[in-house]
Amino acid sequence: MKFSDSLRLALSALILLSLTATGALARDLPDFTQLAKQYGPAVVNISTQRTADMAGVQPQFSLPDVPEGSPLNELFRHFFGMPGGPGGRPERRSLGSGFIIAEDGYVITNHHVVKDADEIVVNLNDRREFKAELVGSDPNSDIALLKIPVKGLPTVKVSRNVGVEVGEWVLAIGSPFGFDHTVTAGIVSAKGRSLPDETYVPFIQTDVAINPGNSGGPLFNLDGEVVGVNSQIYSKNGGFMGLSFAIPMDVAMGVVDQLRATGHVTMGWLGVYIQDVNRELAESFGMDKPRGALVAKVTPGSPAEQAGLLVGDVILTFKGEELGDSAKLPHLVGRTPVGEKAELDVLRQGKSQKISVTIGKLPEQEKLATAMQPKGPNNEGRLGLAVRDLTPQEREQLDIKQPIGVLVTQVAVGPAASAGVMVNDVILMIDSKAIPNAAALRQLVAALPAERSVAVLVQRDNGTRFLPLRIPKK
């Protein structure tokens, strides 16, 4: 046999092996066709209409730049309420998704899809349309429940106890940009994510392509079970960037149960402002690593105050669940029934103790985020920072013997940042006036004349320094 013949045979064998391996790899990838066929008919398209003065109203998300004259301009105007109606009072149409959970017409979607709607229309897979009744809607969880007047509908498979694992394949069906029954797939990227202003929903993060219009649609696992309600994306341009977030189904169904029973949702309330424990704080508390939720303030008259929680306590567990960081606590509290007792493991002055608290009802005028998380820096305020009172342990650690000083917890772009104020600085004096607490600081800053430079004395790394700070206009 010639050398060229041997080489040809070897190359043929390699190609055959490569094709075989490629075929095996393709067979190992998930096949979503049956799942889409079986449950696609239970996914609906939701249109909402309301009459509003659109002057100065901006879309809720950023739209991509589209050249003038492009047919996409008309698409965006039709589906997402771009201005342009007669008399400045057009009828706005927004589009979202939903899914049927009961054959007699109950539909789950997002609160933000149906918010402020005068009319809600549910479009089925078979092209039938029905005006929907809003059974109830909860802005805190971003879940809404609709009812349409028809029976014998196809439904999704819902299981409250289905957990998802990072790396697991998932599938979304929805109406991105109005293209109904679009199927996209990806994997679970993370679990238990906390998002700004969404402090009690432990979101499922995925890399499934989600765009405006997918909101309220289902997220399936490979067994065809709905594991989440697609709710949000992280985007700088209004389009998908690889980060999408879904509300876990156990959270969604807990809300749905209350909406069906009473039309509204009651959430658990503890009544504390909390913050993360960083490395320095952990060391000052004698902890082996940063963990738990540090109590920065206890709301007067709250369940926390009645149970004896104190500023400076570090909540390590809630009902036996460890708190790796402070963001997990609001999730757990909000889902605890009102009146139920919860046992907390608390670290106080270096000693561990158990505290039993009876969970209260979240006041209607408050959001859980406001009640349980310290407010961030006021970016439009005079200084652009957030502070809190020092705990006795911190005062001892920093060797501050006088009753003065507030801890800087956040710094935004603004006068304080320009002056060099940093997170974890302790502000001792401003304009030669001692600062005993956060309330005194706010009062003093509000009274300072605009466009004047004042000296700020801060303690940093056990040393003190003056920083020149120019007070802006109010």
Distance CA 389, CA 404 (A): 9
The DSSP 8-state label assigned to residue 76 in this structure reads: H
Residues 6+ apart with CB under 8 A from 464: 428, 457, 458
For residue 335, the one-letter residue type is R
Own/partner pairs, 337-341, CB within 8 angstroms, 24+ separation: 337/268, 338/266, 338/267, 338/268, 338/269, 340/268
Residues 6+ apart with CB under 8 A from 239: 64, 211
The DSSP 8-state label assigned to residue 398 in this structure reads: T
Distance CA 68, CA 20 (A): 50
Produce one character per residue of 97-127: b if its CB has 16 or more CB atoms within 10 Å, e if not.
bbbbbbeebbbbbbbbbbeebeebbbbbbee
Residues 6+ apart with CB under 8 A from 68: none
Contact 304, 235 (CB under 8 A): no
Q: How many residues does the chain have?
A: 474
Alpha helix (H) residue ranges in 33-157: 33-39, 71-80, 111-114
Which residues are marked as active site? 112, 142, 215
Residues 6+ apart with CB under 8 A from 383: 414, 415, 416, 421, 445, 469
Distance CA 116, CA 282 (A): 45
Q: Which of 118, 137, 4, 107 minimizes the C-alpha distance to 46? A: 107
Residues 6+ apart with CB under 8 A from 91: 49, 50, 51, 85
First to last CA, the chain: 93
Task: Give, in degrees to the nearest 5, the angle at Cα 7 between 5 and 12.
Answer: 95
Q: What is the DSSP string of 289-308?
A: S--SEEEEEE-TTSHHHHHT
Q: Which residue has the tokens 């004042």?
A: 454
By CB atoms closer than 10 A (0-12, 13-18, 19+), residue 431 is middle
- Tokens, residue 74: 């008309």
Helix (H, G, I), strand (E, B) or coil at 197: coil
